[in-house]
């Protein structure tokens, strides 16, 4: 078997969830486990999160909710976007899955197949401009939900720039959301659950927490951006994912030798190189090899040449031997390579770094 794998520390996930639980009390924590738990594995992450105090889960797709139900998860699951009309019957069959709604057609489709007083969550678009009703339309839409015999259990919105705490758009989103809630309250509509905060807003904007927070990247121990690092650092979040492999080949090349496709890196002096059996077929961006680093023997060592389909190359020294552990993401000794650092180096956000890893490197759970 190829010596390449991804480890997921479920104790770290549980720790991170407990940190957020204690931070936002009396609000509850909804753990976002869409995209297969951001590449960590949705079911084991969900189990760890619920064991640490999360009370809700959120996913993007009906199939993702079905996979959790199939794994024995029975807590409320929020679908973050409105399902297609033909999916509404499956949503009902899954039991306890809350669809997000924001169109008349979607609401009517769900009401046709759902039991009376089946709960839904109304999405309000306060500035993300992706999905949802405009704030001025919230009351009309909420009334339609009630007129069709459904329960408006929740109302929510999404912060689009909370990873930049000083951006004034978040203030405008809070005002727009509150005005929509005031409109509902004036008509006697007071949903039991109100939520707005994502990870970045949860740590930097207490006014967005309401009575539920949706924490995604934070439960995996990754800060959303360097701008919110001052808010995340005191929490001591633990990165749950590590990308691990081993040295499978060693060689020395002379000065002026190119490495990898296109010879985009050329040695200036005689250089010792280690080959590592992991590549872009595993989800590593090709550019990572030109700007990234790996941990070998507790030391940071530069990658050399673009990442190939099945391998990459690291500059090492004579202390490195065949079979030595190589860390592309995670900790080794006193050194740590974080998802934010990798993302900044290769022009990605940390979500992409985590989610781009596919199922080819197997997951091992700690």
| Residues carrying an active site annotation | 34, 261
How many degrees, rounded to 5, is the angle at CA 271 between CA 243 and CA 334?
40
Nearest CA to 261 out of 293, 309, 223, 325 is that of 309
The residue count for the chain = 366
**Dihedral Cα 100, 166, 220, 198, nearest 10 deg:** -20
Which string of DSSP letters, residue by residue, matches 111-143? HHHSPTT-EEEEEB-SS--SSSB-GGGHHHHHH
Crossing angle of helices 104-113 and 138-147, in 10° steps, is 20
Contact in structure between 272 and 288 (CB atoms under 8 Å): no
Helices (H) and strands (E) in the chain, counts: 13, 20
Burial label, 310 (beta-carbon count in 10 A; 0-12, 13-18, 19+):
middle
């Amino acid at each position: 078997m190829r010596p390449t794998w991804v480890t997921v520390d479920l104790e770290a996930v549980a720790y991170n969830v407990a940190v957020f639980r204690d931070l936002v009390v009396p609000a509850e924590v909804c753990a976002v486990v869409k995209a297969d738990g951001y590449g960590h594995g949705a079911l084991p992450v969900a189990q760890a999160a619920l064991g640490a105090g999360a009370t809700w889960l959120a996913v993007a797709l009906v199939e993702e909710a079905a996979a959790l139900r199939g794994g024995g998860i029975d807590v409320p699951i929020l679908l973050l976007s409105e399902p297609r009309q033909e999916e509404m019957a499956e949503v009902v069959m899954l039991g306890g899955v809350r669809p997000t709604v924001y169109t008349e057609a979607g609401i009517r489709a769900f009401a046709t197949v759902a039991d009376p007083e089946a709960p839904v969550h109304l999405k309000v678009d306060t500035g993300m401009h992706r999905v949802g009703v405009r704030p001025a339309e919230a009351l009309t839409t909420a009334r339609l939900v009630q007129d069709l015999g459904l329960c408006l259990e929740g109302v929510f919105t999404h912060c689009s720039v909370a990873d930049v705490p000083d951006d004034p758009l978040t203030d405008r989103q809070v005002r727009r959301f509150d005005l929509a809630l005031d409109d509902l309250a004036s008509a006697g509509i007071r949903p039991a659950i109100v939520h707005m905060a994502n990870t970045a807003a949860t740590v930097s904007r207490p006014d967005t927490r309401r009575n539920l927070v949706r924490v995604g990247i934070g439960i995996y121990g990754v800060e959303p951006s360097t701008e919110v690092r001052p808010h995340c650092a005191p929490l001591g979040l633990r990165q749950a994912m590590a990308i691990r492999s081993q040295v499978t080949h060693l060689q020395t090349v002379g000065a002026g030798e190119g490495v990898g496709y296109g010879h985009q890196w050329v040695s200036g002096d005689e250089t010792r190189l280690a080959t590592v059996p992991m590549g872009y077929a595993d989800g590593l961006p090709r550019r990572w090899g030109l700007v990234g680093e790996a941990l070998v023997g507790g030391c940071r060592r530069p990658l050399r040449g673009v990442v190939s389909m099945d391998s990459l190359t690291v500059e090492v020294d004579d202390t490195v031997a065949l079979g030595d552990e190589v860390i592309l993401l995670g900790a080794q000794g006193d050194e740590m390579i974080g998802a934010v650092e990798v993302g900044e180096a290769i022009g990605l956000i940390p979500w992409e770094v985590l989610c781009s890893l596919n199922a080819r490197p197997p997951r091992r759970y700690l």
